[in-house]
Chains A and B, each alone.
Chain A
Amino acid sequence: MTALELAAGRAGFSPRRVGALILRYLYLMRGSWPRLLELAYWPMLQVVMWGFISRFFVTNSSWVAQAAGVLLGAAMLWDVLFRSQLGVSVSFLEEMWSRNLGHLFVSPLRPYEFVIAITVMSLIRTVIGLMPAALIAIPLYHFSIFDLGLPLIAFFANLMVTGWAIGIAVSGLILRYGLGAETFAWVAVFAISPIAAIYYPVSVLPAWLQTVALALPPAHVFEGMRALMFEHVFRWDHFFAAAGLNALLLGAAAGIFLFAFGRARRLGKLMQVGE
């Protein structure tokens, strides 16, 4: 039996197929310096701007003065969420723009392998995009996000997963409604930004909106970050709440994507999608 016939008989998950797709996105990134530049451009701009705003507030706000990096840290963590969602959506859109979904899904690639590949790419894009911003904040504003220590990993992971969930759900919508729904990829995450408690505590919101905010993982992450920076405690309750809500969100997003994929197969959209 040849290797190909053995492969034919394999029914399960294949890291190699996931790797093949990641290789495709890395080739795309490598072949276009504007894409690489774009990854780092906005996060760096955000950090520069929020750095100056922080400097101003340190001398004009007793709240910010207690933890000078709170706004910069929030800006960086918000970008984790945004970049994570965009990383998933852009990889998916690459396949729509290049009319490649038909080729991909007549290969042995499974839908869940495709989703894993675009989430891994999202991680790579987020790290490439945010690392320069995190590093320039150190000499410019004497703020290092890495000083958060191990809790940074918890915040980062939770926000990444939220971004993946939104990105996967948006990809499902685009699969279902075509490139007319592409705008969701760029704006969906901003729908939750007013209640994500990024730059202000949840307590600022009206009581009924606080309930909504705390039903979403980002509010717990940002509350957790502020607790760490102001009170120097890691709030496990916020961590577990964010992780639990993320599990639900990710499950719902996977359901939306698989439903949209099934619907696309019923309507014949996998062959038709494109610009």
Chain B
Amino acid sequence: MDTVIQIQGLTKRFDAALAVDAISFEVPRGSTTALLGGNGAGKTTTLSMLLGLLLPTAGAIRVLGEDMLRHRHRVLPRMNFSSPYVEVPRRLTVRQNLTVYGHLYGLDRVGERVAALARDLDMVDLLARQTGKLSAGQRTRVALAKALINDPAVLLLDEPTASLDPDTGDWVRGYLERYRARTGATILLASHNMAEVERLCDTVLMLRAGKIVDRGSPAELIARYGRHNLEEVFLDIARDRPRVRTAAQ
């Protein structure tokens, strides 16, 4: 399995604050990896650097074999992202928004792509509506449609189900599972939702104060800390409690 995202010694300093502290990790093709950590752990900062929205203080980022600091425009057409902190414009209709983004990503037959996505995401009846007048759940679908408009090979998601009711959250998670299975896309997500991470992710990178303090599959982390679920592991790490010593150690 080849590597799609390679991060080496990535560091971001804002004046005196060290937001991301020399982290290194790799994400294999077709996998889903989570950045898990409390508020201010460095998840969104890491995603922003991966997207090129934020310049790192030090370190290297390679996505799909390209150096993101020097050649990000070679890769951006094959990436996309969604974040509750960056909204899809509210004053345009859903169709208008998706059409604009389809053209920005250089798609052929944008109209057909928008129609297909709308069917796929069960939002055909939303296309003619103004984006700002939709409910939070409907806007999340639109944000997901925008993130998938170019069928990205690399999908970065910042809290993809934040503020959604359990039903809509479950639907989004199911859709992401099907999308990855169908396209072989690589997904990197930042989340506070432990159940979501357990369900979707092959690998979890636990962040605290800008450092990766542990990593492994959800099952490995649960076993390593002698806990029943990822939420308990998260609390152990957030509160700096030592992990359970295993035979291997």
Contact = CB atoms under 8 A, between A and B. Distances in A.
Interface of A: 3-5, 7-11, 14, 16-17, 19-21, 23-24, 27-28, 31-32, 98-100, 102-110, 262, 265-268, 270-272, 274
Interface string B42-55: 00110010011111
B101 A103 contact: yes
Contact of B74 (A4, A8, A99): A8
Contacts of A268: 14, 45, 48, 53-54
Contacts of A262: 55
Contacts of B91: 28, 31-32, 98
A157 B13 CA distance: 45
B53 A3 contact: no
B65 to A, nearest CB: 12
B73 A19 contact: no
Given A4-B151, A98-B87, A265-B53, A108 B48 contact: no
A106 B92 contact: no
B104 A17 contact: yes
Contacts of A267: 14
Contacts of B105: 4, 7, 107-108
Given A98-B90, A270-B54, 11 more contacts: A14-B106, A16-B106, A17-B103, A31-B91, A31-B130, A100-B89, A102-B86, A106-B51, A108-B104, A262-B55, A265-B55
Interface string B28-50: 00000000000000001100100
Contact of A109 (B75, B81, B104, B146): B104
B78 interface: yes
A147 B90 CA distance: 44
Interface in B175-220: none
Nearest to A101: B86
B244 interface: no
23 contacts: A3-B106, A3-B107, A4-B77, A4-B78, A4-B107, A8-B74, A11-B74, A14-B106, A17-B104, A24-B92, A27-B100, A31-B92, A31-B93, A98-B89, A100-B88, A102-B83, A103-B101, A103-B146, A105-B53, A106-B81, A107-B105, A109-B104, A265-B53
Nearest to B96: A27
Contact of A23 (B79, B103, B150): B103
A8 B100 contact: no
Contacts of B54: 265-266, 268, 270-271
A20 B90 contact: no
What is the interface residue range for chain B against chain A?
35 or more
B156 to A, nearest CB: 8
Contacts of B90: 98
Nearest to B85: A271
Contacts of B146: 103
A262 B45 CA distance: 16
B100 to A, nearest CB: 5
B165 interface: no
B80 interface: yes
A9 B88 CA distance: 26
B238 interface: no
A4 B96 contact: no
A272 B44 CA distance: 11
A260 to B, nearest CB: 14
Contacts of B92: 24, 27-28, 31
B23 interface: no
Given A14-B106, A98-B87, A8 B77 contact: yes
A20 B53 contact: no
A265 B81 CA distance: 17
B75 to A, nearest CB: 7
B86 A99 contact: yes
A20 B75 contact: no
A16 B101 CA distance: 11
Contact of A21 (B73, B76, B100): B100
A3 B81 CA distance: 21
A24 B100 contact: yes
B108 interface: yes
B140 interface: no
B78 to A, nearest CB: 5
B14 A105 contact: no
Interface in B111-150: 130, 146, 150
